Every structure is written in C-alpha cells, then in structure tokens.
A and B are shown apart, each in its own frame.
Chain A
C-alpha cells in the first residue's frame, strides 16, 4: 500500500489521497517538520504513502501517562513508553510525577524531558508534582519546574489526591502566574481506606472493600468551588462516575474554568469484571457500573468531558500475578486507546471524527499548553499525524505491545480501528503498524 522510491533524495513524506476528519480527500506534502503543501495529484521524490481509505488526523496527545523512569525502569522507560505512544498514534505524552525520585524539582523534570528528546519519537512533557514527595504537605518547587527547560505547565500529585483544601487552594493560586493548571486525582482518602473496587452490588458479593462514588465526587465539587473562588484552572483526572459528570456539567453551566478527562477503560469496562478476582482489572479509580459507563460516553460526546487520557500505568507481571488485594492498581493503555475510543464512541455513532480529534488531540494540547501539538492539518502546521484505518479489526495481543509492561485488560479482545502510520515532526516513526527505527535511537 506504500512505496518508497529506490533512492530517497528528498527529506519529505507525501500522503496520497488522505481522508481528513471533515471528510475531504487531499494529498499532503510534508517537508522537514512541517506540512508544506496540500493539494491534489502531488508527486514526490521522497516517501509516498497511499492513504486511500485511511483517516489522517492530528497526532494524539495524552495528558496522563505514567512512565516509570526514573526509578522503575523494569516496568517502563521514557523510550519504551514513547514507542508504545507512537504505535498508539500519540505524538505527545505527559509523564506523571509519581516516579522515584518524584518529579517535584527542576532536576527531575529536566531529566525526563531530556530522555524524551533523546528517544525522539514523540514530545514528552513532564508533569510536575503539586507537593514535595507527593506527600500533600508542602508545595513542590512549582516555579522552578515551570521555568526549567521542561517548561512544566501541568501539575499533579496523581496517584494521590491533594486532599488538604488549603494546599489545593494555594496550588491553584500559585500556577496562575504562568497560566498553569492543577490536575487533580479526586479521591477522598478517608472514604477509601483499603478500598479495592467500586462500592456496590458486585463488591458486596465479592467481599472486596468498596470505593464509593462520593469519594470522587466530594473532591471534585470542593475543587471546582475552590478553583472558581481563586479564578484558576482546574483539570479533573479520570472521571469515573455519573455523579462526577453531573457536577462537571453544572460547573460548566456556571461558566467555571474546569476541564475533565475520561480513560478508555472507563468507557468500556465495568465492575462486573472483578468477579474473576483477576487483578488485571484492578485500577484507580475503579471500574464502575454500566450506568456510569453510559453517562461517561454521553458526557464525552456532548462536551461535558473534554478529553480522553490513557492513565497508562505499566506494572511488571509479578505485581498483577497475585491475589487482588496485594496487586498494584493500573492498566497500560497507550496502544489500545484509539481503538477503544473508536469502538465505543465513533463506531456507535455517539461522536464524529471531528469530535474524536478534539478529545484526543487538540483539546488535550490546549489544556497542557502544548503549542506544537494538536494543530489543524493546514499549510505550515507541525506535521504530527496519526493515520488510521477505521475498519481494521484486530485482536489485542499483550505480547505484541511495545510497552515494557503487559498489563492490558484487553488481551484477546477484538477491537475495530487501528493506527497504521504515525508521523512525528515530519518523521515517519510508525509505518504499517511497526516502529520504523526512525527517531534518535
């Protein structure tokens, strides 16, 4: 389906018959990092990809990724996470701060940022911790991280909730000087002591300690009011309940500056999967009920929820190969995210391709302040592209993931929609679903 001229003289990529999100079909020439020509019947001396039937979209942007470097490189490195990202159509990811050491200083965020540069497969934006050591007691060096080479704009203690209302207020105020945003992991800690799964019918039967919806909703309600009071920006990580959706909907109706994300797994799976006691389904926040799933899908379609974020959380095999209570929380998600969003939202008619581009690319880029990501496909735009075959059916095989960790709950699932090629800053980093070896590696 694609051809390479025998000798590639020109540093350019030509996409032939590209189907855009709006339904138009064009040829796109990429020269260097940028889109240099859009037209019809273009020809090239460089790489030419026949994109007939393929959707060419702005590269996806993940606002919530756990890489494990520094500290747990056996689970994921910045390089392996970047490889997983581009195979999933992502050209940018946001590395959460809960590494070892914690990304709570300029030194650590610059380290992660440099590792991203040296991998050279996608933009890696470090997220800074809100509090020192994620301990929720004292502000981390937010200003130093913002002014570092990594230019951090998103701050989060994700994995933990900033539960102290005074610290949360201060953090929201502090980031205003550089238009930063606080991304809150909404989990009231006292209401979730030892919690294992969604509180409800299934937990009652399984005898697993319940994680009530109100533990998430109470923090969201509080923080929306706090952010509004201090006129700052709040982003809510991984919304998981119907009640959370209703609170966000109310806040947006009031014109409050809040954005929210949902993960692919919360759009598809429910707490029924815990009946297996297989901790592959153990995740924070927990999988909820079918009515929550329905509410999340509707909210993503109607704009109440702004974006999809993966919460990609790699764990080594042994951390899941045990009894439920001892297992780690989290699932990998970068390589299956698009297919799940496509299967649950686009194939079902809940949203169109333009909305998919908003939720997976342009809006996360704007929340994070990632100027060179999520751009419309236009002359002069940075060529970050995900090229999709919407009709390709594939069976998820954990052994074929690029992520170092294989903790996907979708192993064996048949999904519709596949990422075929990924272009990062003009470079073809994934071709025919495989890493090309292009990058700085």
Chain B
C-alpha cells in the first residue's frame, strides 16, 4: 500500500491490519514509552488547504510519536482557485524531501490527483477531500466501534449502525459507509431527502427519512455535522426543524437500546444535530474518537512508510 486515498482502494483485511496495528501501537505507547523511533529520519508534511486544527494536530502527534519530522503547510487563502497552486505547492514539498504528504483540500479528488498525476513521488494520505472521502476518520471510527463491541472483531455483521445527517456533503459518511459495510455491518443512512445524494442506491446501504422508526434497533448512532448555512440553499427550512427531525435530543437518546454508543466526527454543533446532554452522555464516545484518531493515524503512517516490525521495535507486546 503506497497511498491511502479512499476506503474503496483497500480490502477488509487491509483495514483490519491497520486497526490491529493501531491496537499494538496503543499497547506500546501506553505508560512511560510515549514515543517510538520507527520513522526517525522520515519527513511527513501536513498540507492543509482547509482549516482543520483538530485533524492537523492529530496527524502531527501521530507522526511525532513515531519520531518522524513534521512540517505543517497551511495554504488556505492562497490562490487555490487558480488550480496550479496544488501542483506547485506539492512539488515544492517534494523538493523538500517529503516521504508522505497528508493532504486536506476542499476539492473532491485532490488527493487522487496528487497521487496519480505524476507531480510527486511521496506517499499520499487523504485527510479529507471536498465531499469525497476522509478514510482515516472511518478507520478511527471502526477502531472505536471495535473497542466497544469486541477489540479483536474481524466481522461486524452483528452490528446495526445508523449514520444520520448531511450525507450529501459528507466525506465522513462516504468513507464510513464504505468501510463499515466492507467489515460486514448493516449500515442505515438517515437524512431528509434533500441531503441524500441522487445515486445513493449504488452504495448498497438502506436509507430512511425517518430517524425514529428503527431508533431502538441501532448499536451505533453516528451523527454528522450539519452546516447551518445549508438552510440558505433550501436543503432544510431552519435549524429548529432540522433538529426536530434529525437531531439526537434527550428523548431520542433515551430510546437507544442498552449498550448503544453515540459517535460524532466533530466539531459538534450542540443544539443542532446533537443536544448537549446527548453529546456529554455516558453513551457518547466522542472524546475517545479523538484519542483513537492519533493511534489509527500512527498505524496508517507506519504501514505506508514501512517501518520495522513492531515486535522488534517496542519489545513489549
């Protein structure tokens, strides 16, 4: 595996390998040993054309915990619309000796272009491209689910998972639906009709306009961030109506089945897609998602940049 661009490019076994590696890394870096020498001398560049402090920080600490050199390059506001800047910027980074480029970009397919256009030779990790994919988010979500429902699960077919909200514009949804189905879970997509993409039929996931219908059947309820500006494009009338139909409020929280968990990729719009009580409830695993993010991104960097055998590196397995 040279790049991580899309969940569609990896097999269930490759995904599970990443999750297993993340679990090993968690054991290795627990307690006193916070940092491993595995990527010493390698350079990881975070190339962010969109603001996302949390994702950038997550990749940054992942790389640092593996002893890689990290360069952050934030290009927001530069002439992205002119197009050549992605190519020029990437080639500059290549000249600086990047072994891996972690890219966040507002254009769908930007990571694919970087990997396949011949502009650069580095490994490319997609950290979110437009409304296409965010594969490390899906992997960290799967890792989090695994921790709750069976740390060594290789088959998710006992799990019934709801993904709720702005599916149309969500790269998190695209990556998660693809990965969770690949791992065998039953995934149901829930959104108002305006926020379900035309062509969703090919995803193989049932979809519903009614959040309440099967609410007590789900093991995992994954809420997506909804941008309030969408109401200006008439995707829904206003925040109140959206919350009534598709928000995870206390009443809905109370109907969840025992053991069900609530996920959110962050940042949350409290009071819109998720109430404060739901976000802070015992069912919420939002904080865990953040810490798992670092482990999973370490695992991805480790696999792409081909570090030495973990058994040898850390010793303590």
A167 contacts the other chain (CB 8 A):
no
| B81 to chain A: closest residue by CB | A326
**B178 CB, nearest partner CB in chain A, Å:** 9
> Are B202 and A323 in contact, with the CB atoms below 8 A?
no
> Are B197 and A210 in contact, with the CB atoms below 8 A?
yes
> Are A324 and B109 in contact, with the CB atoms below 8 A?
yes
Q: How far does the alpha carbon of A324 sit from the alpha carbon of B112 in the complex, in Å? A: 10
> Are A325 and B130 in contact, with the CB atoms below 8 A?
yes
- Which residues of B lie under 8 Å from residue A319 when comparing CB positions? 83
- Which residues of A lie under 8 Å from residue B116 when comparing CB positions? 276-278
- Which residues of B lie under 8 Å from residue A327 when comparing CB positions? 83
> Are A322 and B200 in contact, with the CB atoms below 8 A?
no
- Which residues of A lie under 8 Å from residue B132 when comparing CB positions? 206-208
- With beta carbons under 8 angstroms apart, the residue of A201, A318, A324 that contacts B107 is A324
Q: Count B-side interface residues using an 8 Å CB cutoff.
A: 32
- Which residues of B lie under 8 Å from residue A199 when comparing CB positions? 198-199
Within 8 A of A (CB), among B202-229: 202-203
Q: How far does the alpha carbon of A208 sit from the alpha carbon of B110 in the complex, in Å? A: 11
> Are B84 and A322 in contact, with the CB atoms below 8 A?
yes
Tell me which of A208, A277, A323 has the highest count of chain B C-beta atoms within 10 A of its own C-beta. A323
B87 contacts the other chain (CB 8 A):
yes
> Are A322 and B87 in contact, with the CB atoms below 8 A?
yes
Q: How far does the alpha carbon of A319 sit from the alpha carbon of B130 in the complex, in Å? A: 20
A393 contacts the other chain (CB 8 A):
no
- Which residues of A lie under 8 Å from residue B8 when comparing CB positions? 205
With A199-B199, A201-B199, A204-B197 as known contacts, state yes or no: A277 contacts B109, CB within 8 Å.
yes
With A277-B113, A322-B87, A324-B113 as known contacts, state yes or no: A204 contacts B199, CB within 8 Å.
yes
- Which residues of B lie under 8 Å from residue A318 when comparing CB positions? 83-84
**A175 CB, nearest partner CB in chain B, Å:** 37
- Which residues of B lie under 8 Å from residue A277 when comparing CB positions? 108-109, 112-113, 116
| B201 to chain A: closest residue by CB | A201
A218 contacts the other chain (CB 8 A):
no
B65 contacts the other chain (CB 8 A):
no
Contact with B along A193-206 (1 / 0, CB 8 A): 00010011111111
Q: How far does the alpha carbon of A439 sit from the alpha carbon of B199 in the complex, in Å? A: 52
- Which residues of B lie under 8 Å from residue A203 when comparing CB positions? 197-199
A333 contacts the other chain (CB 8 A):
no
B104 contacts the other chain (CB 8 A):
no
With A207-B133, A208-B108, A277-B113 as known contacts, state yes or no: A323 contacts B199, CB within 8 Å.
no
- Which residues of B lie under 8 Å from residue A325 when comparing CB positions? 106-109, 130
A321 contacts the other chain (CB 8 A):
yes
> Are B84 and A202 in contact, with the CB atoms below 8 A?
no
Q: How far does the alpha carbon of A129 sit from the alpha carbon of B172 in the complex, in Å? A: 44
> Are A323 and B174 in contact, with the CB atoms below 8 A?
no
> Are B109 and A202 in contact, with the CB atoms below 8 A?
no
Within 8 A of B (CB), among A265-282: 276-278
> Are B202 and A201 in contact, with the CB atoms below 8 A?
yes
- With beta carbons under 8 angstroms apart, the residue of A204, A276, A322 that contacts B86 is A322
- Which residues of A lie under 8 Å from residue B84 when comparing CB positions? 318, 321-322
> Are A202 and B107 in contact, with the CB atoms below 8 A?
no
> Are A326 and B82 in contact, with the CB atoms below 8 A?
yes
Q: How far does the alpha carbon of A205 sit from the alpha carbon of B174 in the complex, in Å? A: 7
Q: How far does the alpha carbon of A199 sit from the alpha carbon of B130 in the complex, in Å? A: 16
A212 contacts the other chain (CB 8 A):
yes
Within 8 A of A (CB), among B117-176: 117, 129-133, 171, 174
| B202 to chain A: closest residue by CB | A201
Q: How far does the alpha carbon of A203 sit from the alpha carbon of B168 in the complex, in Å? A: 10
- Which residues of B lie under 8 Å from residue A278 when comparing CB positions? 113, 116-117
A-B contact pairs, 26 of them (CB 8 A): A200-B199, A201-B199, A201-B202, A202-B199, A203-B198, A204-B202, A205-B8, A205-B199, A205-B203, A206-B132, A208-B108, A208-B132, A210-B198, A276-B116, A277-B116, A321-B87, A322-B83, A322-B86, A322-B87, A323-B109, A323-B113, A324-B107, A325-B109, A326-B80, A326-B81, A326-B83
What 13 new A-B contacts, CB under 8 Å, besides A203-B198, A277-B113, A325-B109?
Answer: A203-B197, A205-B174, A206-B108, A207-B129, A208-B108, A210-B199, A276-B116, A321-B83, A322-B84, A323-B86, A323-B113, A326-B86, A327-B83
Q: Which 5 A-B pairs have the closest CB atoms?
A: A277-B109, A322-B83, A326-B83, A207-B132, A204-B199
